[in-house]
Amino acid sequence: MNRIIKKPIFLVGCMRSGTTILADLLGSHPNIIHCPFELRSVWSKTGNIPMASPKTQDLKCPCLKEFDVQPGQAERLSRAFITEMKKNRGSKNLKHAYFLNKNPHLANKLPLVNVLFPDSRFIWIYRDMPSVTASLKKILNRKVIHYWPEKDDLETVRCWECLFNGNSIPPQLDRKRCFPGGDIKYLMEYWLETNKAISDFSQTISSDRIFLVKEEKLITEPDKVLANCQSFLGIPINLPKMMINKIDRNRNELWSNSLPKVEIQSMLNFVQEHGDSLNGIFPEGKLFERYNAMILSKLFSERAESIKTD
């Protein structure tokens, strides 16, 4: 008897990219059971896959590859996932439903997940860097200190580490890498490294196992994007109209109002530093040109506004 869960769905992307919105929309379908929130405790305690979080008390979120798979790991996780499905199924038929887990912490562990669950499907959602940066700056202003580690080598994909010791920052750590209060260039670095890792992983599996969603399209054309997701998963089209109507269509218009001019300039410096390397991550291409124009426009408009008031 095969004890590995069949065709699980993993929703990935960096934090603040719309993973929660999309997971909730997908989870409304009769054939999908979304097990909230991210099951970090299950991955950590049952699967022995650390994920830095107050819930797990793990300090680090290590990059894991296919050779890090442990004996019995897939079976233990499968049992735990099925248990979570039973808790969250409501009136849904367990035999005709797929397990859905949204978890940004999986972005630097995808080769491992792929070996554990070889028939899994992946949905990758990405959001423009300016919106993610502003949202991360706001959301990481919490009780737990998040630390963006230095890069050990080119192969390691980083994720956030957490500090729980009374929120005091050890003197050996660079405070600019700690949030709240850190340098936003590290938020942009996280966005870039995470999405590049998922992009690289997507090239190693067949195209029928991964589906790409642009968050901005999900917000402006939710019916179309959600229908496309459901078609990719091979389930009947079933759109949750009430949930769709509650989507905030303005959520991506606020980034420039929540960042001071010095941080918008820092964003421009980051974009210009990375240049054409930004263009190869997503299918849309021309990302460098678009971000460069977008940020310059904002800086020029602020300058013009400043001259008027003077």
At residue 189, what are phi and psi to the nearest 5 degrees? -60, -40
- The pLDDT tens digits of the residues spanning 233-292 come to 999 999 999 999 999 998 898 788 889 999 999 999 999 999 988 999 999 888 999 999
Check whether 308 has a pLDDT greater than 80.
no
Distance of CA 10 to the CA centre of its chain: 11
- What's residue 100's pLDDT? 98
- Which of residues 1 and 288 earns the better pLDDT score? 288
DSSP 168: P
Task: Put residue 16 in one of left, alpha, beta given phi > 0 → left and psi -120 to 50 → alpha.
Answer: left
- Name the band, by pLDDT with cuts 50, 70 and 90, for residue 108: very high
Q: What is the DSSP string of 298-309?
A: HHHHHHHHHHHH
276 Cβ partners below 8 Å, 6+ apart? 288
- The pLDDT tens digits of the residues spanning 62-80 come to 999 999 999 999 999 999 9
Mean of the per-residue pLDDT values for the chain? 93
- Name the band, by pLDDT with cuts 50, 70 and 90, for residue 143: confident
- Name the band, by pLDDT with cuts 50, 70 and 90, for residue 305: low
- What's residue 37's pLDDT? 85
Give the whole-number percent of the chain exceeding pLDDT 90.
84
Give the whole-number percent of the chain exceeding pLDDT 70.
95
> CA distances (Å), 180 to each of 13, 167, 258, in order?
21, 10, 15
163 pairs with which residues across the strands? 145
- What's residue 284's pLDDT? 85
At residue 56, what are phi and psi to the nearest 5 degrees? -95, -25
Check whether 45 has a pLDDT greater than 90.
yes
- The pLDDT tens digits of the residues spanning 151-176 come to 989 899 999 999 986 667 888 999 99
Check whether 1 has a pLDDT greater than 60.
no
Check whether 25 has a pLDDT greater than 50.
yes
Check whether 24 has a pLDDT greater than 60.
yes
Check whether 22 has a pLDDT greater than 90.
yes
136 Cβ partners below 8 Å, 6+ apart? 15, 16, 179, 187, 190, 191
- What's residue 152's pLDDT? 87
